[in-house]
Amino acid sequence: MTEGGNLPSVSNYTDADFKRTIWSALRIMAVTVALGVPLLWWKLGWGSAALFAVGAAISGSGLFEWVRLMTAVMARMDADAGPARPLAGVLIGFFLRLGLAVAALYVSLKFLHGSVYAVAAGLALGVAALSIEGLRLVKSWTM
């Protein structure tokens, strides 16, 4: 947000605004998981609630890694920032998280006997949260 508390316009959208948008999407995801897990536990059982939480954790970790990756790439592209930190650590973390996400998805589907739709809903939370944030930005840019 800018000094007046308004969202930034398209022409002055900065890296800090990008980070703030992603972190806001992560907060939306956290609130949704905090409300969704008890509801799913009550309606569909603990297995579906756990699958929803696993899907949301995978989706949230993807958003977090996207912030790290984009920050490292943008620091390399910014000539005024000085020497950027090595990209190898960020890329190793990205691919390690990707492998852990696949393993967590496999193990949770194999051993947690819940609804596959619950894990799909958890995985879709990141897209939904980013869509909400995108609509919020579009609304601020058009009004």
Q: Which residue has the tokens 């579009």?
A: 138
CA angle 63, 136, 141 (to 5 degrees): 120
- Name the least confident of 3-7, 69-73, 82-86, 113-117: 3-7
Task: Measure the CA–CA gap between 132 and 106, rounded to whole angstroms.
Answer: 29
Task: Measure the CA–CA gap between 59 and 66, rounded to whole angstroms.
Answer: 11
Q: What is the pLDDT of residue 6?
A: 60
Residue 18 has pLDDT above 90, yes or no: no
Q: What is the pLDDT of residue 69?
A: 87
Residue 10 has pLDDT above 70, yes or no: no
